[in-house]
Structure 1
Amino acid sequence: MKPSFFNRISDRIFSQSCAKSLDSVSVILFGYVVLMNSWVGEDSYITFRTVENFLNGFGLRWNVYERVQVYTHPLWMFGIAFFGALKIPLFYAVLLLSWICIFGSSFLLVRSRSEKKETFAWILLLLVSCRAFVDYSTSGLENPASFLLLILLFKQGETLLSNPNGKDVFGFALILSLAYLNRQDTVLFGVPYLVRLFLTSFRNGQTIRWMGWGSLGLLPALAWIVFSLLYYGYPFPNTAYAKLNTGVPSGELWFSGFLYLRNSVLWDPVSILALAFPIVYFAMDRKKRFDPEFLFPILGILFYLIYILKIGGDFMAGRFVSLPFVAAVFVLTKIRHRSVAVFGFLCFIFFMILNPRSYLYTTATYSRARMDGKIADEKSMYFPNANFFRSFFVSEYPDHGWAEQGRKYKKEKSASPSRFSVCATLNVGYFGYYSGPERKIVDVYALTDPLLSKLKSARPWRIGHFGRNLPEGYLESIDSGENRIADSNLKEYYEKLKLLTESPDLFSKNRLEEILRENLGGNRQLLARYTDEREWQEIPKDATCGLGQGF
């Protein structure tokens, strides 16, 4: 019986001679798509301002007069600082770091496909077919390092499933620790392995020994938590308090999370198809269904998707989906069936080659600004003013309006365009970075503000943008250095907060006691007594940074 036309084509594609050609082409295409679509978004400049202040001797601060951890990714931040210390402009420093991580991740995914003679082209082509992956392979955010650490975590996790020893436990804990330092929620992918490891240690009597090795591996994360407590006064980044301490009902957040995943279905179907493929495949395969090598990464994916739903998703389309997508591709590399490779090739053909709007055809002037409710195509919003190739042809780059306003603000002889030496705004990335270190800037979304992040958000809110109303007397307090907040409860809390964030003596008895009291909830009643039921109030005209008064 003659093989069907499809089988003949399939045999030809997977032949050794054709595989080599496909692999070579895929490497070129992968590199082209990643480089041509490289960009650095506005949010990354929040971290850049801290890096710049750190390299200039002001410490790990955003506003130099106070200590606030405005970045969620200490590991990523120090990576940028490393290249910045080599006098590489931060725009190019973060791109260089991103490229190292992204090409390292793709190399590990290719290597995880053990059959040497089989084509790996489908892996690279599937990766670049996913908008979420391409968008956040650069962007200036920590995603590329999370991709790399996640793959390393899975590969090290595989050793824990066979015959683990103390060194294997140490290796897994160390990678998990680094993943935590890069982005804390990434540890959700390691939970299934930790549970298995804990149960195994009981069976073989290695609990104490393995806990010792694991503790050694976790030392980087533990050391950072201790440092963060002593330096900033809190164990977690200020962004966590700003985005998770909002007062928004959980039902509204779950619905927002559902809309976020729905957006991926509409705008980036490759990401959802890649997530669904391994889940459906192993649900139907009775032999593989409970194989930990496949089950644990899939459980990690499910845990992370539930987490996305719980926090309400994000305003950046695809950003949070990109990490489970990479996890799904890792699982797909473990499936020994041609259907997986065919799936990768088909995704590339239909969503890249045949799609005139695909990233295969991106140019330096690419623009496709669009919104899906409160979710934005973040890359398309900033790409025209912030892409890699265009940066060579513009003297002051990026040439975005917010960056231009920041440069103007820095040059002004007068202290501020407002009546204060401080101004408030909703857009602190470009503006904050280019305003220079001496400027005091209040972020109404509270990402960089230690007081506002502890207050409930006002309505209307947008996911990832939880605006706070400015308490009466707050700007006057920052302007003068004296506590002039009108509300007595909030005034007392702010006085305690200033001890944590502004005291020059990190190790004074009063400050250490206040750190303990604050983190154990001893000051919570002061915040509870302060109520502001008003809807969103525009920033006063005489206090804005010149970027508008808000929505």
Structure 2
Amino acid sequence: MSSSVQLRPLPPAEPARPGRRRRTERLLTAVLVAAVLIAGWARRWTADDAFITFRVVANVLGGAGPVFNAGERVEVATSPLWLAVLTVAEAVVPGDAVAWSSVLLGLALTAAGVGLATRAGHRLLARTPARLAVPLGMVVFAALPPVWDFTTSGLETGLAFGWLGACWWGLVRWAGTGARTRTGAGAPSVLGQRWLLVLLGTGPLVRPDLAVVGVVLLGWLVLSGAGRWWQRVAALAVAGALPVAVEVLRAGYYGLLVPNTAVAKESGRALWGRGAGYLGDLVGPHLLWLPLLVGAGLVAVLARGVVLRRREVSLLLAAVLAAVAHALYVVRVGGDFMHGRLLLPSLFLLLCPVAVVPLTRDRLRAVTALLAVGALWALASVAVLRPGYDGGQVSGTGIADERGHYVRQAGTGHPVTLADHGGTGVLAYTDRVLALAGTDVVVAQPPPPVTVDTPLRRLAPSSGGLVFSVGNAGFYGVAVGTGVRVVDVYGLTDPVAAHLEAPPPGRPGHEKRLPAAWLLARYGSPELARVSGPGLPDAADVAAARVALTCGAAAELVEATSAPLSWTRFVDNVLGAPARTSLRIPTDPQQAEAALC
């Protein structure tokens, strides 16, 4: 009996295909990759959140370390690997080119992911007799407008697509290898391709949520490969060595088990209802259920015509399981405020099993009909399928057309650099802020819209130096330079703000807001704890917050992030990271003082 799904001997691993078919398939792949590049380039832009990472890159190259504010160890880059890639790119191409590097690398990595997934699909179908293999799944992916937006954006989404494509190609290649036997090919060694194990293990370094995908696919590889129990354990050790090392460094350096952004956004909460709305916000307007039904129909029609090993079939099932598990995780945490962004990796992986579809001779009509439906959907997606708030608006649930929002604010179709985003009034306002350099004052970003004529908002005297409180930490953080302390009111860059108790669920990522009493307790002049004035918080609240920060777990949190990093501090940070990660401080300063002191 063969190890294939069908009960007949397997053809050779890579049978020679007719030259015309091979050339046609290569041409289709090239056209698809070119379409991804063209669509992404036509929608090139960068988000405010990307500039948060750009400021960290500047601090790394400036010698301050991977931090947002020099002297305070707070992890604000959600993707350690993307931070590393951009830092190397900026070191190689200096001159403040990081914004353009992020755009070009995002484009290249997305195109590579699509190309690798398509190549993997052709490899899976190498034994299946067919007139042609059509890249349906990747066409569906490439036809989706949110993909065009987040191919660039300066965020790590393009890296996620590239990582998923590389993992899928590597797993398909691994599944097709193995010692030849009379019944086909035996299982390949679980330790046969260590690079693939390392690659799968880097999932959480691309994005923390991609650990879900990495665990599922790694589990499949370890269970499917040939080897003794100790070889399976060794395979897990190879895959886990790098992420475990990074986790230890994170805990020792930053004092937390997760990035500070995860604490600020309360990523551990279960918000199924809000997450279901986020899923519906992607599936509904784009009618994604239709191409997914087409894909399921093709699987049903071709189930008996495609020649696969059982191991390859189980890989397809593992990919679907990993995609669904990742989507469920995103739904559980309540989704995001950017339309579709966090679900796009789930969709990419879900489409990988049907990345390429064969036109088999015996089921040609049924397959052609389903492909025609998929093609009609793709045309509609490119032309008209959009969310109701397309064009820079925000939905009633707080989900935004993020690219459209910044394009409209900037007044240009392709805002990439900080100068391109000048229409937001960032540069004019930060010029006023920088004019105060050398003075002891706390200033604030005014509520939008900010124009070139917006007056400066002085809050109060500071305890030392210029302190800038902002809501757009990326733009303003880069604009004022690394020499100015920038405090994000949403807690992304501030350890105390991130650890405040969360209010009831609201707009994702924008729920916590640092009260003025806490801001001035940390950075304001000491006399603010004794006197009040117009526009200032109650002096009793400032005093209570100031005392709370010197007590118990809050004091230890400040110490963990700002004390000089010695070996003793590193070990203390590691040992205290679990409790510190779960620490939440009452938002009311007087309640915080009572609870902590």
TM bin (shorter chain): 0.7 to 0.9
**Residue matched to 2:579:** 521
**Residue matched to 1:549:** none
**Residue matched to 2:497:** 452
Shift of residue 191, structure 1, vs aligned partner: 3.2
Is 1:224 paired with 2:224?
no
User: For residues 504 and 481 of structure 1, do their structure 2 counterparts lie closer, same or farther at Cα, with a shift above 3 Å needed?
Assistant: farther
Shift of residue 254, structure 1, vs aligned partner: 0.9
Kindly provide the amino acid, as one letter, of the partner of residue 408 in structure 1: D
Shift of residue 316, structure 1, vs aligned partner: 0.5
Shift of residue 81, structure 1, vs aligned partner: 1.1
Kindly provide the amino acid, as one letter, of the partner of residue 487 in structure 2: V
Separation of aligned partners in 2, 1:64 and 1:395: 21
Is 1:80 paired with 2:136?
no
2:100 to 92, 103, 113: 92
Kindly provide the amino acid, as one letter, of the partner of residue 41 in structure 1: A
**Residue matched to 1:369:** 393
Shift of residue 371, structure 1, vs aligned partner: 2.4
1:44 to 40, 47, 50: 50
Separation of aligned partners in 2, 1:148 and 1:18: 24
**Residue matched to 1:408:** 431
1:491 to 536, 545, 550: 550
Contact 2:410 2:424 in 1 (8 A): no
Q: TM-score, normalised by structure 1?
A: 0.80
Shift of residue 523, structure 1, vs aligned partner: 9.5
1:195 to 219, 236, 249: 219
Q: Deviations over 1:328-361 (max 9, x none)?
A: 2211125435356435422332222x53979xxx
User: For residues 409 and 276 of structure 1, do their structure 2 counterparts lie closer, same or farther at Cα, with a shift above 3 Å needed?
Assistant: farther
Q: Secondary structure of 2:495's match?
A: coil
Separation of aligned partners in 2, 1:37 and 1:283: 36
Is 1:261 paired with 2:304?
no
Shift of residue 388, structure 1, vs aligned partner: 9.4
2:484 to 425, 435, 439: 439
**Residue matched to 2:154:** 140
Kindly provide the amino acid, as one letter, of the partner of residue 554 in structure 2: Y
**Residue matched to 1:355:** 384
Q: Secondary structure of 1:376's match?
A: coil
Kindly provide the amino acid, as one letter, of the partner of residue 375 in structure 1: I
Separation of aligned partners in 1, 2:581 and 2:64: 29
Is 1:501 paired with 2:519?
no
Kindly provide the amino acid, as one letter, of the partner of residue 443 in structure 1: D
Shift of residue 485, structure 1, vs aligned partner: 5.8
Contact 1:254 1:310 in 2 (8 A): yes
Unaligned runs of 5+ in 2: 1-19, 177-185, 360-366, 444-457, 530-541, 591-597
Deviates more, 1:52-61 or 1:473-482: 473-482
Q: Deviations over 1:16-41 (max 9, x none)?
A: 99878766655544332121111111
Separation of aligned partners in 1, 2:299 and 2:37: 32
Separation of aligned partners in 2, 1:234 and 1:171: 29
Contact 2:52 2:76 in 1 (8 A): yes
Is 1:468 paired with 2:474?
no
Q: Secondary structure of 1:518's match?
A: helix
Q: Secondary structure of 1:43's match?
A: helix
State which structure, 1 or 2, has the greater radius of gyration over its C-alpha atoms.
2
2:459 to 418, 429, 435: 418
Q: Deviations over 1:490-538 (max 9, x none)?
A: 531332122211112332x3x245424532427968x56x46399xxxx
Is 1:241 paired with 2:263?
yes
**% of aligned pairs identical?**
23
Alignment of 1:21-60 (within 5 A): 26-60=32-66
Separation of aligned partners in 1, 2:372 and 2:344: 21
**Residue matched to 2:198:** 174
Shift of residue 71, structure 1, vs aligned partner: 1.0
User: For residues 461 and 522 of structure 1, do their structure 2 counterparts lie closer, same or farther at Cα, with a shift above 3 Å needed?
Assistant: closer
Shift of residue 120, structure 1, vs aligned partner: 4.5
Is 1:102 paired with 2:143?
no
Shift of residue 303, structure 1, vs aligned partner: 0.5
Q: TM-score, normalised by structure 2?
A: 0.74
Q: Secondary structure of 1:155's match?
A: helix
Unaligned runs of 5+ in 1: 1-13, 359-365, 535-551
Is 1:214 paired with 2:236?
yes
1:397 to 400, 420, 423: 420
Shift of residue 385, structure 1, vs aligned partner: 5.8
Contact 2:409 2:424 in 1 (8 A): no
Contact 1:179 1:186 in 2 (8 A): yes
Alignment of 1:266-415 (within 5 A): 266-270=284-288, 272-279=289-296, 282=299, 291-333=313-355, 335-336=357-358, 338-339=367-368, 341-352=371-382, 354-355=383-384, 367-384=391-408, 390=414, 396-401=419-424, 403-404=426-427, 407-414=430-437, 415=439
User: For residues 372 and 280 of structure 1, do their structure 2 counterparts lie closer, same or farther at Cα, with a shift above 3 Å needed?
Assistant: farther
Q: Deviations over 1:245-291 (max 9, x none)?
A: 68x6x3xx111011101111233334x44445445655788769993
Q: Secondary structure of 1:441's match?
A: strand
Q: Deviations over 1:355-379 (max 9, x none)?
A: 3979xxxxxxx94434242111111
Q: Secondary structure of 2:283's match?
A: helix
Deviates more, 1:478-487 or 1:169-178: 478-487
Aligned length: 501
Shift of residue 146, structure 1, vs aligned partner: 0.8
Shift of residue 445, structure 1, vs aligned partner: 1.3
Q: Secondary structure of 2:338's match?
A: coil
Contact 1:41 1:386 in 2 (8 A): no
Contact 1:256 1:312 in 2 (8 A): yes
